């Protein structure tokens, strides 16, 4: 749909979207999206708007005021805003940007979580992936292609996944973290220290810990513990090994260590877990 609002040039496009009942209840869904070419007359000044916003600057500069900060977003930058909060943005001449307003189950909580981790003005090489995904949505709407609510929700999740990733999350860093995960799984029955894992991928302990948690969502040692608990579950169900033998298999010197951790993570003892499985 063509628009002619102040400051928005005629070649711009916008789509107003209505979610299905299923999407509104269970999924993420777009509410507005567009591709704007602007003059310096374009501005938005709102106390509140019900949706979330991811905005990618293609060309030029946009002035944004949000959460008490005044910033200038330039080509390649992304602004991620919860528009239920007061926000203002305006264009310089020759601004071009694409945007997606979205909402959905738990969408506001997840968006705020991303902003707490990476800020609301995001400047990363990975931003181009977000650009490509928004452009794909726009092209589908322009061409009249139909997609399922689940498929569209997945695309929004993928956008947020990219925004959640740290600046260091390039292919090489992800490969190193995958190598660390593989080491944990292969050596789960052995002593594993943070230093051992950092040495395995030739990174400092601090940098390794930061990258690992950013990519996996867990600290390295939490991941080790979780892997041991997962392995213990399999051994409890698939073998007749005693709790003490299983403890040794998953890297603990005594059954007491395994029992305490198992209770903490699962809320029951290993013996009860085994009995519950076979008594279902």
Three-state secondary-structure class, residue 86: coil
- For position 74, what pLDDT does the model report? 96
> Quick check: is 54 in a domain?
yes
36 and 107, same domain (yes or no):
yes
Task: Assign residue 230 the CATH number of its domain.
Answer: 1.10.10.60
pLDDT at 63: 97
Residues 193, 174: Cα–Cα separation, whole Å: 20
Counted domains in the chain: 2
Q: Do 150 and 18 sit in the same domain of this protein?
A: yes
pLDDT at 180: 95
Assess if residue 5 is contained within a domain: no
Would the pLDDT of 1 be above 60?
Answer: no
Q: What is the mean pLDDT of residues 204-230?
A: 92
Residue 84, domain CATH: 2.60.120.280
> What contacts 24+ positions apart, CB below 8 Å, involve 235-244?
236/270, 236/273, 236/274, 236/277, 237/274, 237/277, 243/270, 243/271
2: in domain? no
CA 258 to chain centre: 32
State the average pLDDT over residues 262-280: 89
Provide the whole-model pTM: 0.72
- Residue-wise pLDDT tens digits, 51-88: 999 999 999 999 999 999 999 999 999 999 999 999 99
Mean per-residue pLDDT over the chain, rounded: 92
> What is the band of 280 on the pLDDT scale with cuts at 50, 70, 90?
low
How many other CB atoms are there within 10 angstroms of residue 88's CB atom?
13
Domain boundary, last residue among 96, 130, 164: 164
**% of the chain at pLDDT higher than 70:** 96
């Amino acid at each position: 749909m063509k628009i002619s609002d102040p400051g928005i040039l005629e070649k711009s496009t916008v789509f107003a979207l209505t979610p299905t009942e299923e999407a509104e209840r269970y999924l993420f869904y777009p509410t507005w999206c567009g591709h704007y070419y602007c003059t310096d007359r374009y501005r938005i000044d709102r106390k509140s708007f019900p949706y979330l916003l991811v905005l990618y600057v293609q060309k030029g500069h946009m002035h944004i005021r949000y959460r008490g900060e005044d910033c200038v977003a330039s080509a390649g930058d992304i602004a991620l805003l919860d528009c239920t909060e007061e926000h203002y943005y305006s264009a310089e001449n020759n601004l071009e940007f694409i945007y997606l307003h979205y909402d959905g189950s738990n969408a506001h909580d997840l968006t705020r979580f991303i902003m707490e981790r990476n800020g609301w003005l995001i400047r990363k090489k990975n931003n181009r992936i977000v650009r490509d995904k928004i452009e794909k949505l726009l092209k589908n709407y322009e061409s009249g292609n139909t997609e399922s609510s689940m498929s569209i929700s997945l695309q929004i999740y993928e956008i947020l996944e990219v925004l959640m990733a740290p600046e260091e999350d390039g292919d090489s860093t992800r490969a190193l973290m995958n190598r660390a995960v593989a080491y944990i799984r292969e050596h789960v029955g052995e002593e594993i220290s943070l230093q051992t894992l950092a040495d395995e991928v030739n990174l400092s302990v601090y940098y390794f810990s930061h990258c690992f948690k950013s990519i996996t969502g867990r600290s390295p040692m939490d991941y080790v513990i979780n892997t041991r608990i997962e392995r213990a579950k399999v051994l409890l169900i698939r073998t007749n090994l005693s709790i003490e033998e299983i403890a040794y298999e998953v890297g603990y010197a005594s059954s007491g260590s395994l029992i305490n951790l198992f209770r903490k993570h699962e809320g029951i003892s290993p013996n009860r877990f085994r009995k519950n499985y076979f008594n279902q």
